[in-house]
Structure 1
Amino acid sequence: MADIFLNFPAFCLGSQQRTVADAAADGDLLSTADALTAAGFNQHCHCDAHETAYDLAKGALDDMLTSYPETRQRLPDIDVILYVTCLPLNGNHGNVDEFAVSRDVKHLMDFPASRLQADFDMDRAFVMGLNQQACTGMLGSIRVAAALLRSEPDLQQALCITADRFPPGAVYEQAYNLISDGGAACIVSTTPGGYRLLGAHHITNGAMATASDEETAGFYFNYSHRLITELCANAGITPAEVNWIVPQNTNRKAWRILASVLRFDFERILMPTIGSVGHCISGDNIINLKTVAGADQIKVGDTLLMPMAGFGLNWSCLLLEKVAD
């Protein structure tokens, strides 16, 4: 089976920053500011009135091109674009008001993935849009990309990208987590570099698709523990043998409990952006991965888990090994 590598993590956040206290004062939270601050959240980023989810996708790709100049030569050779949205409405760049006037559904099918292909001259790439995985969508796209590259030898590299913004008037809190609008991207390829994909696992409990925040939190520990232990067992290791966990930005208290259950040192859980970014929907793992890579915390040969939980209810995790700086 061909080795698959994840490389060039990049991201873009909504242009407006706001403290937890300000978000609470604006009536955009469900919990108190003190409760969210105690959980590790300090501020979040949200879009202004004119900023779209597609702007966030373009911003993430611009960040990739700026952070890794070599990707300027790689983008024209991308074979497939896997474009992920958590909220289905972000999978359409068209004007819903124009549909209401014309009743023409083409206004509901202005797909951002096609725009991205054209705007960044990825002419040889075909596009696939993915959703209904909530916050696990980015990890799901990486798994789909790996399967495509392994099953179709003519395909060499895939762009995985996610972008979501909450609609105007939305509460910026879900399941006791402070939310940010944002996008994230990476390249998955057969070319060695970055991180080797050692395994992937995903669990869905559709019976809990409409779970309340309290029910979601209650199921989080059991399913996250099962997800991680099953993935590690498939790789012939225990969670404690993994060097690092690079998770979603979720309540620090929850991760202390889960770390104890997994018998994993909490100090080896890396979520450096929880205070400054909050939970950026599907992008947290990639955002944290880029941030810790910049701080040189993960060494060549280290292994890491990237777990994510989302509505649906879904739990997803990747097991990676760093192969190059």
Structure 2
Amino acid sequence: MTALAAVGTFVPADRVTIESYAEAFDLTPMQVRVFRRYHKLGTAARSTESLAGLLGLALADLALTAEQAARVRYVLYARTFPVVVPYPHNPLHDALAAAGLGHAQAFAVGQQACASGLLAIDLAGRLVRADGDGALAVVLTGEKTFTGEARFVVETSMFGEGAAACLVAASGDRDRLLSYVVRLRGEFDGDHDEVASEYQRIYHDALGEAVTAAVAKAGLGLDDVAVILPHNVNEMAWQRTCKRIGYPLDRVLLEHVADYGHVFCADAFINHRTAVERGLLRPGDRYVIAAAGAGRGATFSAMVFEH
């Protein structure tokens, strides 16, 4: 059974504010206030590190032993955007070489946009189970806000910079994957202006259905879920989703939304670190990681783990 053997994260100390975006994105004072008061988005994390540097800091925080590093056979880089640096740079391989993981087979996973992190965990588990000889995999997440589209989504979210690294094993005593549900919605593969309003209309129901389906697939009920570790798109989205499914909002870890912003595919794993450090997850607790991605279509997905 796929398990997270360790999680490493990096979130920089520097921040940008929603007010600093007003001129670049033609935001009115009212729109700025809506972001702060309604979406609960005020700042987003920023780093002077390169993308290779961000990924390297998450790998360093993973604190692999020499024995673990030697067993890492695959590295999956889960990302939101198809292109994250100008050609021909390859920050993934640069980061892996610096971390002593240059021997691993490395590739990117981005087909499900901001939900690609969960896809990468599933794929990593399948790969190491197929090898069956103690192989390990690393899932890397985190990107730079190098374009306007990668900094800000109008009326929705601010992207933050940071990174996370997960060590994935075929089995383990903690953070064992109990179920994975993914809903692909190909009808949203079209011009943004044409599909955006319908996407927003179905968003909360679709995300809620993915969460409840994953919980049911694990043989559990929502009352059995100790906490939901969300993607940090905005707080209002989670208020509405929780209302749809009848789950207490105070058991969704939302404290980083207003500070870090939406750290691409790294959100859930950064939230995992916080949940563990704050004692929100005790041995045996079941928890949900949920995410939605919009790009080439839409993806709504959820995983249930046992801590």
TM-score, normalised relative to structure 2: 0.88
Residue 185 (structure 1) aligned with residue 183 (structure 2): no
Shift of 1:157: 1.1
8 Å contact kept, 1:64–1:185: yes
Residue 153 and residue 75 in structure 1: after superposition, are their counterparts in 2 closer, same or farther (change >3 A)? same
Partner in structure 1 of residue 78 of structure 2: 84
Which SS does the other structure have where 2:77 is aligned? strand
Shift of 1:226: 1.9
Partner in structure 1 of residue 259 of structure 2: 276
C-alpha distance in structure 2 between counterparts of 1:168 and 1:117, whole Å: 25
Which ranges in structure 2 are unaligned for 5 or more consecutive residues? none
Which whole-Å deviations, capped at 9, do the CAs of 1:266-320 have from their partners, x for residues lacking one? 1111122112101111111011111121111111111001000011311121100
Residue 28 and residue 55 in structure 1: after superposition, are their counterparts in 2 closer, same or farther (change >3 A)? farther
Aligned partner of 2:59: which letter?
L
Residue 294 (structure 1) aligned with residue 268 (structure 2): no
Residue 308 and residue 29 in structure 1: after superposition, are their counterparts in 2 closer, same or farther (change >3 A)? farther
Shift of 1:11: 2.3
Percent identity between matched residues is 22
8 Å contact kept, 1:28–1:173: no
Which ranges in structure 1 are unaligned for 5 or more consecutive residues? 97-106
Residue 299 and residue 15 in structure 1: after superposition, are their counterparts in 2 closer, same or farther (change >3 A)? closer
C-alpha distance in structure 1 between counterparts of 2:97 and 2:22, whole Å: 40
Residue 74 and residue 171 in structure 1: after superposition, are their counterparts in 2 closer, same or farther (change >3 A)? closer
Residue 252 (structure 1) aligned with residue 235 (structure 2): yes
Residue 316 and residue 291 in structure 1: after superposition, are their counterparts in 2 closer, same or farther (change >3 A)? same
Aligned partner of 1:81: which letter?
V
Residue 32 and residue 238 in structure 1: after superposition, are their counterparts in 2 closer, same or farther (change >3 A)? same
Aligned partner of 2:243: which letter?
S
Residue 237 and residue 191 in structure 1: after superposition, are their counterparts in 2 closer, same or farther (change >3 A)? closer
8 Å contact kept, 1:84–1:137: yes
C-alpha distance in structure 2 between counterparts of 1:290 and 1:187, whole Å: 13
What CA RMSD, in Å, does the superposition of the two structures yield over aligned residues? Answer: 2.4
> In terms of mean alpha carbon deviation, does 15-24 or 313-322 score higher?
15-24
Which SS does the other structure have where 2:163 is aligned? strand
TM-score, normalised relative to structure 1: 0.83
Aligned equivalent of 1:200, options 174, 180, 189 = 180
Which whole-Å deviations, capped at 9, do the CAs of 1:204-223 have from their partners, x for residues lacking one? 11220234443332221121
C-alpha distance in structure 1 between counterparts of 2:177 and 2:157, whole Å: 28
Partner in structure 1 of residue 116 of structure 2: 137
Which whole-Å deviations, capped at 9, do the CAs of 1:136-189 have from their partners, x for residues lacking one? 111110010111122221352110002212224446322511211232211111
Aligned equivalent of 2:131, options 139, 152, 169 = 152
8 Å contact kept, 2:229–2:272: yes
8 Å contact kept, 2:75–2:139: yes
C-alpha distance in structure 1 between counterparts of 2:187 and 2:123, whole Å: 24
Shift of 1:16: 3.9
Residue 165 (structure 1) aligned with residue 163 (structure 2): no
Residue 9 and residue 272 in structure 1: after superposition, are their counterparts in 2 closer, same or farther (change >3 A)? farther
C-alpha distance in structure 2 between counterparts of 1:191 and 1:71, whole Å: 18
Aligned partner of 2:112: which letter?
Q
